[in-house]
């Protein structure tokens, strides 16, 4: 049994590689919910949706979010009404949010709803939100923005979408995490996994919220030798999103060495890109084994090749 | 200043006639909210929307609900997910519900949101929900249905849409009405109106919830001489919806005489259709003046002609 720790796009690509090299039903994906938000009364789970759409072959590879061939009738009309349309919700995507919201209102857990959606989408990978409780990633801004003066704390989607993550940050916290509990399925999966793969997701705002749920980090520390992470930083930059400058702003060098430092307490092996070969020694100096391979998943074949590496390394 | 008491389709047609014979800005429409519901987390106000779409020229005259030329991308996808799709929400219609829900969540009142939507749709008639509080029409079913045994109480939309109002009822109540307050705008409009027109809406489940809001009925009783109602019953049948059999099930004869009996305490004049000419004497025996004209608004011209009658009668 393989367990993956997941954010959004990078994790979705990693999983789309993994399902080509191991049976999908042998994979359990534990997914960040810190990006979740409620908009227009609808519960939106961006990371779960990105992974679901990708594994269902519905993902829009050009944008990295949403559904391919999407239409925008609702959003266009909402804009006509003067509604909030900065968070673009496509018509088919909206159906997911309506479904989730209705089920949650009826008393089902996010785990149950996620399983239903995955089943309907024909996905055999087991998708588990890390918790059924509310965890919300909040960022304190260093600069004045349309949302307020320096020091204003905003939600992840305000930061990521509304402000295009084009603003410096002084702090990140995971609101509600201290009261959240990992689901039983998550706890069991982490305990019984043969291998745990940390997908190339943002260490701070994608993997960070997973670790913030009480019990998860301790479990991972105990499983350190079986944990292999893929660096989301290549040649000092994030392939997508704000991981690089977020790391710098929060005091960690935006490099594979910085990733190694963040992960060292609970990750045994770090996979870095060929571009960072010269830093392999510094990664190992942080106490991690280091594997150097091509990590950029710009095609399904390359995703599968990387998947084979994370499966085979150390076996 | 003209005030109308409104349910959905019949009221929308009456208003579309009235705006052809008096300046739209001189009309205030007080609208039922007992049909309102929350589905998929979205606040839906069917009567307000039917009136808005009709006055904006967006209404689908074939179905009597929703938006003309509507698309169904979201609902089709929701059905694919196995979601609740018995209440058909078109894509453009959904934008209204997203807008309303977001604004209500932000703390605006239903009155404020309704005014914003009307302004965006270019509507000069003043649309007022009778209350900003929650009033929900609930019906007790006489028969076993997919929703439960005889005696089960269901919401209006469960009755009207899900069960196609094809089931007998033993009771109707307006949950929350006893704690609701009419808005100040409603109270002022009722007090200052030169004339009050009761649209040809369902007396029980469209006009009934208006009367159930404390203070409204007393105000109407005091204005009785200035109130003119159009019968929604023609030749013993409702033109649309379950008004006829609901009246019968709840102990009122489904005829213009039954309507007269229900309205006699607070309506001075009842407009009935030519088809019911023979019953005019019985209507008058209930203590109402009776006007006999064509009332079926099957064209804009006929709606305008009826509007002229309700404006001119008694002047």
Per the structure block, which two tokens stand in for B261? 């009996």
Which among A40, A76, A98 has the least Cβ separation from residue B74?
A98
Cβ pair A241, A35 in contact under 8 A: no
Nearest C-alpha in A relative to B70: A73
**Given a cut of 80, is residue A131 above it in pLDDT?**
yes
User: How far apart are alpha carbons B4 and B14 in whole angstroms?
Assistant: 9
β-partners of residue B102 are none
Cα-based distances in Å from B139 to A264, B173, B205, B242: 63, 7, 9, 12
Provide the shortest C-alpha distance from residue A35 to chain B (in Å): 19
Band (A84; pLDDT cuts 50, 70, 90): confident
**Given a cut of 80, is residue A315 above it in pLDDT?**
no
Residue-wise pLDDT tens digits, A192-214: 999 999 999 999 999 999 999 99
User: How far apart are alpha carbons A182 and A224 in whole angstroms?
Assistant: 19
User: How far apart are alpha carbons B217 and A71 in whole angstroms?
Assistant: 47
Q: Could you tell me what percent of chain A has a pLDDT over 70?
A: 100
Region A276-303 average pLDDT:
97
DSSP annotation of A240: S
Can you list the domains of chain B with their CATH numbers?
36-129 (1.10.8.240), 136-176 (no CATH), 179-312 (3.40.50.10680)
Mean pLDDT by 10 residues, chain B (315 residues): 96 97 98 97 97 94 85 97 92 98 98 98 98 98 96 96 95 98 98 97 97 98 98 94 94 97 98 98 98 96 97 85
Per the structure block, which two tokens stand in for B141? 């079913």
Chains A, B: CB contacts within 8 A come to 107
| Predicted TM-score (pTM) of this structure | 0.94
Which among A41, A91, A116 has the least Cβ separation from residue B102?
A41
3-state helix, strand, coil in chain A (%, to 5): 45, 20, 35
Cβ pair A201, A6 in contact under 8 A: yes
**Given a cut of 90, is residue A65 above it in pLDDT?**
no
- Enter the ipTM: 0.91
pLDDT of residue B300: 92
Per the structure block, which two tokens stand in for B35? 């049909």
Under an 8 A CB cutoff, do B40 and A102 touch? yes
pLDDT of residue A61: 80
Provide the shortest C-alpha distance from residue B97 to chain A (in Å): 8
């Amino acid at each position: 049994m393989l367990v993956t720790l997941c954010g959004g796009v990078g994790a979705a690509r990693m999983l789309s590689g993994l399902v080509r090299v191991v049976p999908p039903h042998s994979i359990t994906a534990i997914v960040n919910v810190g990006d979740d938000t409620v908009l227009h009364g609808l519960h939106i789970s961006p990371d779960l949706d990105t992974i679901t759409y990708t594994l269902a072959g519905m993902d829009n590879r050009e944008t990295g979010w949403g559904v391919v061939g999407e239409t925008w009738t609702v959003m266009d009309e909402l804009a006509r009404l003067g509604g909030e349309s900065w968070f673009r919700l496509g018509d088919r995507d909206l159906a997911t949010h309506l479904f989730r919201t209705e089920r949650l209102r009826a008393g089902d857990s996010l785990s149950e709803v996620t399983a239903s959606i995955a089943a309907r989408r024909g996905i055999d990978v087991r998708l588990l939100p890390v918790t059924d409780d509310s965890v919300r990633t909040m960022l304190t801004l260093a600069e004045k923005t349309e949302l307020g003066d320096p020091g204003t704390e905003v939600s992840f989607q305000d930061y990521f979408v509304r402000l295009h993550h084009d603003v410096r940050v002084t702090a990140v916290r995971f609101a509600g995490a201290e009261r959240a509990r990992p689901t039983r399925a998550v706890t069991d999966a982490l305990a019984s996994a043969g291998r745990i793969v940390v997908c190339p997701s943002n260490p701070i705002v994608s993997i960070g919220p997973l670790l913030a749920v009480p019990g998860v980090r301790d479990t991972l520390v105990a499983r350190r030798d079986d944990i292999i992470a893929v660096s989301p930083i290549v040649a000092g930059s994030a392939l997508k999103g704000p991981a690089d400058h977020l790391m710098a702003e929060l005091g960690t060098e935006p490099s594979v060495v910085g990733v190694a430092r963040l992960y060292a307490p609970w990750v045994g092996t770090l996979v870095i890109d060929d571009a960072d070969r010269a830093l392999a020694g510094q990664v190992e100096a942080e106490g991690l084994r280091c594997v150097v391979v091509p990590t950029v998943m710009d095609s399904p074949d390359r995703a599968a090749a990387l998947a084979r590496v994370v499966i085979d390394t150390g076996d």
